[in-house]
């Protein structure tokens, strides 16, 4: 790896395995810290404002999550585009790409804020917000919507830093923002008694501090491609190419969220114990989901840089290393979690039926979870090569459509939660069956010298 004075890392040399792990670890920690924002609000409000307060924050959080998750996905497309230009040392276009991405996020954030402020009550009504919580949820939502601009800017800036090989800077800024959010929650809600409004203003303040901090840090990049307010923007054709990468990646994240909502309808038919069992299952599943997701995001930046540098040999070796890491690493973690599942899940509930359902989910899905990790490897690889449409399509077909059809077809004949557990397992196979052949096709096409140059400059 080659380090610059401003923190960027060129990854077209050095140990592939060590580089990927060192690059992925901060991304994983960032994924966990991003969950801390809503967890902190829920913990403080749940303790100090009661059950309806918790419901208000939860429902409002669903509205915010739709927008934020889309831009988390969009930022992966930004990573793909920026990493290739950085790897190719095309610093003029790189500067325009960074500036355009930031302004695009800020503009989208402003538009979504205005729409949300106008339609917020309708959003909450569509989500069947309890009438008792509607007033507080609407107040919380309207305040938090004012933080969409810095949140979207942060996610796009994070994608830029990942592409430049610098995952530590956004991690440090996010950690500082999370600490500020918790401190302000405790002050405004716990000490001053401002309730929901206090929790929302605490989150809003921390988000703007984070967004402004990331913009400041972008202005401190290498002078050849650093962000400035008067930096040139991409041409219309190049902007279209950026959107072609970013929008499908954002839609992939949206389809994942849609899949969870649709599967929840089937889970609800099994009653409260099954619903609660899947909630506590999600707590332990995070030990598998977030590492796999973080590794895939890291792989996108690594492959993008090496593609831009013309190092397809390192791309091929990175995929081999990543497949082994995904399979063996996930299987080891799964075995450990399955052995410790009962005491871990027991920390969340004392109800025997809930615990039984949570354990059943673990025992049915964890032996096959390495398939999900492989999915993330091929998704990260395809995005690094500039192909974001197929990952989006695989998420739509395998997760949103297949799981629903599977449950609707089998549950009338076999009304058992095992049907739902296996919907996840089989959907991983369906997704892989789409991703693997496309990845091989794209890689073979790029191995052709004539096509390689055209792709890198596209």
pLDDT in tens, 235-265: 888 888 888 777 887 777 777 766 766 776 6
Are 53 and 198 in the same domain?
A: yes
For residue 5, the tally of other CB atoms under 10 A from its CB is 6
Is residue 437 pLDDT above 90, yes or no?
yes
pLDDT at residue 62 in the model: 61
Are 310 and 435 in the same domain?
A: yes
Are 149 and 266 in the same domain?
A: no
Are 262 and 229 in the same domain?
A: no
Structure tokens at 334: 């799964």
Rounded Cα distance, 359 and 78, in Å = 39
Are 265 and 209 in the same domain?
A: no
Report whether 255 contacts 396 (CB < 8 A). Answer: yes
Q: How many angstroms separate the Cα of 281 from the Cα of each of 179, 267, 348, 349, 366? A: 27, 13, 10, 11, 11
pLDDT at residue 434 in the model: 94
Are 64 and 31 in the same domain?
A: yes
Percent of the chain with pLDDT over 70: 81
pLDDT in tens, 381-416: 998 888 888 888 888 898 888 988 998 899 888 888
Rounded Cα distance, 223 and 5, in Å = 11
Please check whether residue 246 lies inside any domain of the structure: no
pLDDT in tens, 308-324: 878 888 889 899 999 99
Number of domains in the chain: 2
pLDDT in tens, 327-356: 999 999 999 999 998 888 887 667 788 889
Report whether 215 contacts 207 (CB < 8 A). Answer: no
Report whether 273 contacts 357 (CB < 8 A). Answer: yes
Is residue 55 pLDDT above 60, yes or no?
no
pLDDT at residue 190 in the model: 74
pLDDT confidence bin for 46, thresholds 50/70/90: low
Structural domain for 407, as ranges: 255-458
Are 369 and 422 in the same domain?
A: yes
pLDDT in tens, 276-293: 777 678 777 877 887 888
- Helix, strand, coil share of the chain (percent; to 5): 85, 0, 15
Are 185 and 317 in the same domain?
A: no
pLDDT in tens, 97-129: 899 989 988 988 898 888 878 877 776 776 556
pLDDT confidence bin for 184, thresholds 50/70/90: confident
Please check whether residue 42 lies inside any domain of the structure: yes
Is residue 3 pLDDT above 50, yes or no?
no
Report whether 415 contacts 371 (CB < 8 A). Answer: no
Structure tokens at 319: 């995929």
Are 225 and 302 in the same domain?
A: no
């Amino acid at each position: 790896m080659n380090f610059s004075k401003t923190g960027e890392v060129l990854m077209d040399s050095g140990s592939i395995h060590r580089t990927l792990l060192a690059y992925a670890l901060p991304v994983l920690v960032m994924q966990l810290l991003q969950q801390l924002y809503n967890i902190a609000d829920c913990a403080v409000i749940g303790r100090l404002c009661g059950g309806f307060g918790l419901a208000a924050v939860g429902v409002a959080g669903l509205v915010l999550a739709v927008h934020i998750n889309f831009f988390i996905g969009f930022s992966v497309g930004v990573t793909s585009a920026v990493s290739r230009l950085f790897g190719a040392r095309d610093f003029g276009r790189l500067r325009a790409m960074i500036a355009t991405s930031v302004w695009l996020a800020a503009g989208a954030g402003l538009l979504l804020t205005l729409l949300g402020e106008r339609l917020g009550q309708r959003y909450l009504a569509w989500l069947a917000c309890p009438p008792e919580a509607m007033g507080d949820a609407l107040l919380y939502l309207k305040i938090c919507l004012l933080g969409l601009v810095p949140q979207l800017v942060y996610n796009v800036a994070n994608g830029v830093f990942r592409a430049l090989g610098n995952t530590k800077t956004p991690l440090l800024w996010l950690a500082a923002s999370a600490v500020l959010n918790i401190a302000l929650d405790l002050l405004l809600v716990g000490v001053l008694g401002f309730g929901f409004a206090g929790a929302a203003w605490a989150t809003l303040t921390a988000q703007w501090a984070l967004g402004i901090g990331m913009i400041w840090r972008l202005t401190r990049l290498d002078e050849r491609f650093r962000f400035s307010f008067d930096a040139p923007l991409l041409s219309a054709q190049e902007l279209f190419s950026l959107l072609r990468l970013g929008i499908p990646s954002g839609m992939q994240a949206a389809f994942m969220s849609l899949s969870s909502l649709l599967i929840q309808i089937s889970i609800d038919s099994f009653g409260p114990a099954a619903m609660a069992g899947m909630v506590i299952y999600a707590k332990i599943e995070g030990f598998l989901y977030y590492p796999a997701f973080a590794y895939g995001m890291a792989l996108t930046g690594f492959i993008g840089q090496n593609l831009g540098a013309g190092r397809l040999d390192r791309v091929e070796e990175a995929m081999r290393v990543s497949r082994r890491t995904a399979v063996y690493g996930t299987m080891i973690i799964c075995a450990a979690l399955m052995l410790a599942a009962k005491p871990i899940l027991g920390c969340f509930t004392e109800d025997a039926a809930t615990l039984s359902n949570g354990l059943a989910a673990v025992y049915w899905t964890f032996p096959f979870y390495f398939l999900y990790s492989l999915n993330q490897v091929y998704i990260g690889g395809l995005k690094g090569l500039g192909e974001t449409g197929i990952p989006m399509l695989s998420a739509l077909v395998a997760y949103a459509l297949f799981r629903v059809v599977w449950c609707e077809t089998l549950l009338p004949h076999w009304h058992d939660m095992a049907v739902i557990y296996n919907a996840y397992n089989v959907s991983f196979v369906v997704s892989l069956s789409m991703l693997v052949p496309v990845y091989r096709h794209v890689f073979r096409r790029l191995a052709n010298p004539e096509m390689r140059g055209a792709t890198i400059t596209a």
